[in-house]
Structure 1
Amino acid sequence: MSGENDLIKLYSARILALAADIPHLERLDNPDATVKKRSPLCGSTVTVDVNMRDGRVSAFGQDVKACALGQASASVVGDAVIGATRAQIKTARDQLAAMLKKDGPVPDAPFDGLEVLMPAREYKNRHASILLCLDAIAEAIGLAEQANCA
Protein backbone atom coordinates (compact mmCIF):
# COMPACT_ATOMS: atom_id res chain seq x y z
CA MET A 1 0.00 0.00 0.00
CA SER A 2 1.16 3.46 -0.60
CA GLY A 3 0.68 6.78 1.00
CA GLU A 4 -2.18 8.89 2.12
CA ASN A 5 -4.90 7.12 0.10
CA ASP A 6 -4.11 3.87 1.89
CA LEU A 7 -4.48 5.49 5.30
CA ILE A 8 -7.78 7.04 4.23
CA LYS A 9 -8.95 3.59 3.13
CA LEU A 10 -7.71 2.03 6.36
CA TYR A 11 -9.46 4.58 8.56
CA SER A 12 -12.68 4.62 6.57
CA ALA A 13 -15.79 6.40 7.73
CA ARG A 14 -17.30 3.01 8.58
CA ILE A 15 -14.36 2.05 10.84
CA LEU A 16 -14.47 5.43 12.56
CA ALA A 17 -18.25 5.16 13.04
CA LEU A 18 -17.88 1.70 14.61
CA ALA A 19 -15.10 2.99 16.87
CA ALA A 20 -17.35 5.80 18.05
CA ASP A 21 -20.28 3.51 18.87
CA ILE A 22 -18.99 0.49 20.79
CA PRO A 23 -21.77 -1.54 22.41
CA HIS A 24 -21.67 -2.96 25.95
CA LEU A 25 -19.16 -0.44 27.32
CA GLU A 26 -20.64 -0.84 30.78
CA ARG A 27 -18.85 -3.45 32.89
CA LEU A 28 -20.88 -6.23 34.51
CA ASP A 29 -21.51 -6.08 38.26
CA ASN A 30 -21.20 -9.83 38.84
CA PRO A 31 -19.43 -11.44 35.89
CA ASP A 32 -18.76 -15.16 35.70
CA ALA A 33 -15.29 -14.21 34.41
CA THR A 34 -13.22 -11.13 33.58
CA VAL A 35 -10.14 -11.03 31.35
CA LYS A 36 -7.86 -8.12 30.48
CA LYS A 37 -5.66 -8.41 27.39
CA ARG A 38 -2.94 -6.03 26.26
CA SER A 39 -1.13 -5.79 22.96
CA PRO A 40 2.56 -5.35 23.79
CA LEU A 41 3.27 -3.82 20.38
CA CYS A 42 0.90 -0.87 20.58
CA GLY A 43 -0.31 -0.87 24.18
CA SER A 44 -4.00 -1.36 23.33
CA THR A 45 -5.98 -2.98 26.13
CA VAL A 46 -9.37 -4.64 26.29
CA THR A 47 -11.08 -5.86 29.46
CA VAL A 48 -14.13 -8.06 29.04
CA ASP A 49 -16.71 -9.42 31.47
CA VAL A 50 -18.90 -12.38 30.55
CA ASN A 51 -21.82 -14.19 32.06
CA MET A 52 -22.71 -17.59 30.65
CA ARG A 53 -25.96 -19.50 30.58
CA ASP A 54 -26.42 -22.87 28.92
CA GLY A 55 -23.04 -22.61 27.18
CA ARG A 56 -23.75 -19.21 25.62
CA VAL A 57 -22.77 -15.65 26.45
CA SER A 58 -25.80 -14.23 28.27
CA ALA A 59 -24.31 -10.89 29.33
CA PHE A 60 -21.24 -8.97 28.21
CA GLY A 61 -19.37 -5.84 29.20
CA GLN A 62 -16.14 -4.36 27.90
CA ASP A 63 -13.67 -1.57 28.50
CA VAL A 64 -11.73 -0.76 25.33
CA LYS A 65 -8.58 1.35 25.24
CA ALA A 66 -7.33 0.77 21.72
CA CYS A 67 -6.69 2.37 18.36
CA ALA A 68 -9.62 2.98 16.02
CA LEU A 69 -9.08 -0.46 14.44
CA GLY A 70 -9.18 -2.24 17.80
CA GLN A 71 -12.24 -0.19 18.75
CA ALA A 72 -13.99 -1.06 15.49
CA SER A 73 -13.27 -4.74 16.07
CA ALA A 74 -14.64 -4.51 19.63
CA SER A 75 -17.71 -2.76 18.26
CA VAL A 76 -18.52 -5.49 15.72
CA VAL A 77 -17.78 -8.24 18.24
CA GLY A 78 -19.77 -6.52 20.99
CA ASP A 79 -22.76 -6.31 18.68
CA ALA A 80 -22.62 -10.06 17.91
CA VAL A 81 -21.37 -11.70 21.11
CA ILE A 82 -24.62 -12.18 23.06
CA GLY A 83 -25.78 -15.75 22.46
CA ALA A 84 -22.43 -16.92 21.10
CA THR A 85 -20.79 -20.15 22.25
CA ARG A 86 -17.12 -20.69 23.02
CA ALA A 87 -16.77 -22.57 19.72
CA GLN A 88 -18.27 -19.65 17.76
CA ILE A 89 -15.92 -17.17 19.45
CA LYS A 90 -12.89 -19.37 18.78
CA THR A 91 -13.94 -19.85 15.15
CA ALA A 92 -14.47 -16.10 14.70
CA ARG A 93 -11.07 -15.39 16.25
CA ASP A 94 -9.32 -17.95 14.04
CA GLN A 95 -11.14 -16.70 10.93
CA LEU A 96 -10.30 -13.07 11.72
CA ALA A 97 -6.63 -13.98 12.21
CA ALA A 98 -6.65 -15.87 8.89
CA MET A 99 -8.40 -12.96 7.14
CA LEU A 100 -5.74 -10.56 8.39
CA LYS A 101 -2.62 -12.71 8.12
CA LYS A 102 -3.32 -15.21 5.31
CA ASP A 103 -5.80 -13.39 3.06
CA GLY A 104 -8.49 -15.75 4.34
CA PRO A 105 -12.22 -15.19 3.97
CA VAL A 106 -14.38 -12.98 6.15
CA PRO A 107 -15.47 -14.56 9.46
CA ASP A 108 -18.82 -16.36 9.51
CA ALA A 109 -22.00 -14.63 10.65
CA PRO A 110 -22.72 -13.13 13.07
CA PHE A 111 -19.11 -11.86 13.03
CA ASP A 112 -19.06 -11.11 9.29
CA GLY A 113 -19.11 -7.37 10.06
CA LEU A 114 -15.38 -7.76 10.73
CA GLU A 115 -15.00 -7.55 6.95
CA VAL A 116 -14.66 -3.79 7.48
CA LEU A 117 -11.15 -4.50 8.81
CA MET A 118 -9.89 -6.10 5.60
CA PRO A 119 -7.83 -3.00 4.69
CA ALA A 120 -5.77 -3.65 7.87
CA ARG A 121 -4.24 -6.78 6.32
CA GLU A 122 -1.24 -4.77 5.20
CA TYR A 123 -0.69 -3.29 8.66
CA LYS A 124 0.70 -6.21 10.66
CA ASN A 125 1.43 -3.95 13.63
CA ARG A 126 -2.35 -3.48 14.07
CA HIS A 127 -3.36 -7.15 13.96
CA ALA A 128 -2.90 -7.78 17.69
CA SER A 129 -5.12 -4.84 18.59
CA ILE A 130 -7.82 -6.03 16.19
CA LEU A 131 -7.74 -9.54 17.72
CA LEU A 132 -7.73 -8.42 21.38
CA CYS A 133 -11.47 -8.48 22.01
CA LEU A 134 -12.01 -11.99 20.62
CA ASP A 135 -8.90 -13.26 22.42
CA ALA A 136 -10.18 -11.87 25.71
CA ILE A 137 -13.71 -13.24 25.24
CA ALA A 138 -12.43 -16.71 24.37
CA GLU A 139 -10.30 -16.76 27.52
CA ALA A 140 -13.12 -15.38 29.69
CA ILE A 141 -15.55 -18.02 28.45
CA GLY A 142 -13.00 -20.70 29.25
CA LEU A 143 -12.56 -19.34 32.77
CA ALA A 144 -16.33 -19.11 33.29
CA GLU A 145 -16.78 -22.69 32.13
CA GLN A 146 -13.99 -23.90 34.45
CA ALA A 147 -15.52 -22.07 37.41
CA ASN A 148 -18.91 -23.64 36.76
CA CYS A 149 -17.36 -27.12 36.59
CA ALA A 150 -15.46 -26.73 39.86
Structure 2
Amino acid sequence: MAEKILVIDTDVGSDDAMAIILCIAAHRRQEVRVIGITCVHGNTGLDNVCANTLKTLHTLRSLDVPVYRGAADSVVETFQRAANIHGTDGFGDFHYPDAPEVDKYIQKEHAVNYLTRITAERPGEVTLLCLGPLTNVALAIRMDPNFCQNVKEIFIMGGNME
Protein backbone atom coordinates (compact mmCIF):
# COMPACT_ATOMS: atom_id res chain seq x y z
CA MET A 1 0.00 0.00 0.00
CA ALA A 2 1.32 3.45 -0.93
CA GLU A 3 2.12 5.79 1.91
CA LYS A 4 -0.55 8.43 2.57
CA ILE A 5 1.12 11.82 2.96
CA LEU A 6 -1.10 14.08 5.03
CA VAL A 7 -1.33 17.81 5.70
CA ILE A 8 -3.92 18.83 8.30
CA ASP A 9 -5.59 22.25 7.88
CA THR A 10 -7.28 23.14 11.15
CA ASP A 11 -8.89 25.70 13.45
CA VAL A 12 -8.06 23.57 16.50
CA GLY A 13 -10.77 23.32 19.09
CA SER A 14 -11.35 20.19 21.14
CA ASP A 15 -12.92 18.38 18.15
CA ASP A 16 -9.93 19.05 15.90
CA ALA A 17 -7.51 18.17 18.70
CA MET A 18 -9.13 14.74 18.77
CA ALA A 19 -8.64 14.38 15.01
CA ILE A 20 -4.97 15.41 15.35
CA ILE A 21 -4.51 12.85 18.14
CA LEU A 22 -5.87 10.12 15.85
CA CYS A 23 -3.71 11.26 12.92
CA ILE A 24 -0.55 11.33 15.04
CA ALA A 25 -1.39 7.85 16.35
CA ALA A 26 -1.73 6.66 12.73
CA HIS A 27 1.54 8.44 11.92
CA ARG A 28 3.31 6.54 14.69
CA ARG A 29 1.90 3.27 13.32
CA GLN A 30 3.22 4.33 9.88
CA GLU A 31 -0.29 4.24 8.41
CA VAL A 32 0.03 7.89 7.30
CA ARG A 33 2.81 10.46 7.34
CA VAL A 34 1.76 13.81 8.80
CA ILE A 35 4.12 16.29 7.13
CA GLY A 36 2.55 19.53 8.34
CA ILE A 37 -0.32 21.27 10.08
CA THR A 38 -1.68 24.55 8.76
CA CYS A 39 -3.68 26.80 11.05
CA VAL A 40 -6.70 28.86 10.02
CA HIS A 41 -9.08 31.15 11.93
CA GLY A 42 -12.36 29.52 12.95
CA ASN A 43 -13.38 28.24 16.37
CA THR A 44 -11.23 31.07 17.70
CA GLY A 45 -8.76 33.65 16.43
CA LEU A 46 -5.62 32.56 14.60
CA ASP A 47 -3.26 33.18 17.54
CA ASN A 48 -5.31 30.85 19.73
CA VAL A 49 -5.51 28.26 16.94
CA CYS A 50 -1.71 28.22 16.65
CA ALA A 51 -1.34 27.94 20.43
CA ASN A 52 -3.96 25.16 20.63
CA THR A 53 -2.25 23.22 17.84
CA LEU A 54 1.07 23.40 19.65
CA LYS A 55 -0.54 22.45 22.98
CA THR A 56 -1.98 19.36 21.30
CA LEU A 57 1.34 18.41 19.70
CA HIS A 58 3.20 19.09 22.97
CA THR A 59 0.85 16.76 24.83
CA LEU A 60 1.57 14.10 22.18
CA ARG A 61 5.34 14.77 22.30
CA SER A 62 5.14 15.58 18.59
CA LEU A 63 6.44 19.13 18.35
CA ASP A 64 8.61 17.93 15.45
CA VAL A 65 5.55 18.18 13.15
CA PRO A 66 5.84 21.57 11.39
CA VAL A 67 3.02 24.04 12.12
CA TYR A 68 2.21 26.99 9.84
CA ARG A 69 0.22 30.16 10.55
CA GLY A 70 -2.45 30.78 7.90
CA ALA A 71 -5.44 32.99 7.22
CA ALA A 72 -6.60 35.17 10.12
CA ASP A 73 -9.88 36.23 8.51
CA SER A 74 -12.53 34.95 6.14
CA VAL A 75 -12.40 36.06 2.51
CA VAL A 76 -16.17 36.03 2.05
CA GLU A 77 -17.96 37.34 5.11
CA THR A 78 -17.55 37.98 8.81
CA PHE A 79 -17.03 34.71 10.62
CA GLN A 80 -19.11 33.96 13.72
CA ARG A 81 -17.10 32.28 16.45
CA ALA A 82 -18.62 29.61 18.68
CA ALA A 83 -17.36 30.83 22.08
CA ASN A 84 -20.44 29.28 23.72
CA ILE A 85 -19.24 25.88 22.47
CA HIS A 86 -15.44 26.12 22.40
CA GLY A 87 -14.76 28.92 24.92
CA THR A 88 -13.03 32.17 24.08
CA ASP A 89 -9.72 30.42 23.32
CA GLY A 90 -11.27 27.63 21.24
CA PHE A 91 -10.07 25.08 23.80
CA GLY A 92 -12.69 25.44 26.53
CA ASP A 93 -10.67 28.16 28.30
CA PHE A 94 -8.50 25.43 29.84
CA HIS A 95 -5.28 26.69 31.45
CA TYR A 96 -2.36 24.72 30.00
CA PRO A 97 0.51 25.19 32.48
CA ASP A 98 3.46 24.28 30.22
CA ALA A 99 2.25 25.65 26.91
CA PRO A 100 4.97 25.75 24.26
CA GLU A 101 6.09 29.16 23.00
CA VAL A 102 4.25 29.80 19.75
CA ASP A 103 7.02 31.86 18.15
CA LYS A 104 9.57 29.14 18.90
CA TYR A 105 7.67 26.44 16.99
CA ILE A 106 5.59 28.15 14.29
CA GLN A 107 7.26 28.00 10.89
CA LYS A 108 8.17 31.31 9.25
CA GLU A 109 6.55 30.31 5.94
CA HIS A 110 2.85 31.25 5.62
CA ALA A 111 0.46 28.29 5.55
CA VAL A 112 -0.88 29.16 2.09
CA ASN A 113 2.64 29.35 0.66
CA TYR A 114 3.42 26.02 2.30
CA LEU A 115 0.31 24.40 0.80
CA THR A 116 1.09 25.60 -2.73
CA ARG A 117 4.77 24.72 -2.41
CA ILE A 118 4.40 21.23 -0.94
CA THR A 119 1.70 20.19 -3.43
CA ALA A 120 3.78 21.53 -6.35
CA GLU A 121 6.86 19.67 -5.09
CA ARG A 122 4.85 16.46 -4.63
CA PRO A 123 2.09 16.55 -7.25
CA GLY A 124 -0.52 13.85 -6.75
CA GLU A 125 0.96 12.75 -3.42
CA VAL A 126 -0.42 15.07 -0.72
CA THR A 127 -3.78 14.47 0.95
CA LEU A 128 -5.40 17.43 2.73
CA LEU A 129 -7.52 16.90 5.83
CA CYS A 130 -9.49 20.13 6.31
CA LEU A 131 -11.08 20.45 9.74
CA GLY A 132 -11.97 24.16 9.79
CA PRO A 133 -12.91 26.98 7.44
CA LEU A 134 -11.48 26.46 3.96
CA THR A 135 -9.84 29.90 3.76
CA ASN A 136 -6.28 28.59 3.43
CA VAL A 137 -7.38 26.24 0.65
CA ALA A 138 -9.32 28.99 -1.14
CA LEU A 139 -6.27 31.25 -1.03
CA ALA A 140 -4.03 28.43 -2.27
CA ILE A 141 -6.37 27.91 -5.23
CA ARG A 142 -6.20 31.65 -5.99
CA MET A 143 -2.39 31.67 -5.75
CA ASP A 144 -1.66 28.53 -7.77
CA PRO A 145 -3.82 27.60 -10.78
CA ASN A 146 -2.48 24.02 -10.54
CA PHE A 147 -3.20 23.58 -6.84
CA CYS A 148 -6.32 21.43 -7.29
CA GLN A 149 -4.57 19.17 -9.80
CA ASN A 150 -1.55 18.84 -7.51
CA VAL A 151 -3.57 17.70 -4.47
CA LYS A 152 -4.08 13.94 -4.36
CA GLU A 153 -7.31 14.09 -2.38
CA ILE A 154 -9.06 16.32 0.11
CA PHE A 155 -11.25 15.38 3.06
CA ILE A 156 -13.43 18.08 4.59
CA MET A 157 -15.15 18.14 7.96
CA GLY A 158 -17.91 20.58 7.16
CA GLY A 159 -21.37 21.55 8.14
CA ASN A 160 -23.71 24.34 8.98
CA MET A 161 -25.77 25.34 11.96
CA GLU A 162 -28.25 28.09 12.58
TM-score normalised by the chain length of structure 2: 0.21
Higher helix share: 1
